[in-house]
Amino acid sequence: DQQVKQNSPSLSVQEGRISILNCDYTNSMFDYFLWYKKYPAEGPTFLISISSIKDKNEDGRFTVFLNKSAKHLSLHIVPSQPGDSAVYFCAAERGANNLFFGTGTRLTVIP
């Protein structure tokens, strides 16, 4: 049972525009949410996170929004750059060592 879902396997965006990656979860006990970025043949790298007590966290071009009532998480990248092209995984945590990953969304930023 997939507790964290990324329903869009791929997304293409023009350089300079906004990229919005979405993630839905089913377990209301999740208390910490993260986004990871992954290039081919490399391990994921941590990008940004948000605690369940917040609804927004911003870090430069990256902003994560959390809507707990809808059990929905989104990552906004603005402006998008070609170097942002990668697979993005969202993940949700429920206590220690209980990290659940989504299936990933491949973002392509077109120059």
Partner 1 sequence: DGGITQSPKYLFRKEGQNVTLSCEQNLNHDAMYWYRQDPGQGLRLIYYSQIVNDFQKGDIAEGYSVSREKKESFPLTVTSAQKNPTAFYLCASTKGRNTGELFFGEGSRLTVL
Contact assessment for residue 35 and residue 86, using Cβ atoms and an 8 Å cutoff: no
| Beta carbon nearer to partner 1, 1 or 69 | 1
What separation in angstroms does the CA of 63 have from each of 27, 35, 40, 59, 80? 22, 10, 23, 6, 12
| Beta carbon nearer to partner 1, 40 or 111 | 40
Phi then psi for residue 98, to 5 deg, are -125, 75
Instruction: Say whether residue 101 binds partner 1 (CB under 8 A).
Output: yes
Site for partner 1 in 41-100 (CB under 8 A): 41-46, 49, 89, 91, 93, 95-97, 99-100
| Beta carbon nearer to partner 1, 98 or 108 | 98
Nearest-10 Cα torsion for 92, 66, 46, 15? 130
Per CB under 8 A, residues contacting partner 1 are: 2, 4, 9, 32, 34, 36, 41-46, 49, 89, 91, 93, 95-97, 99-104
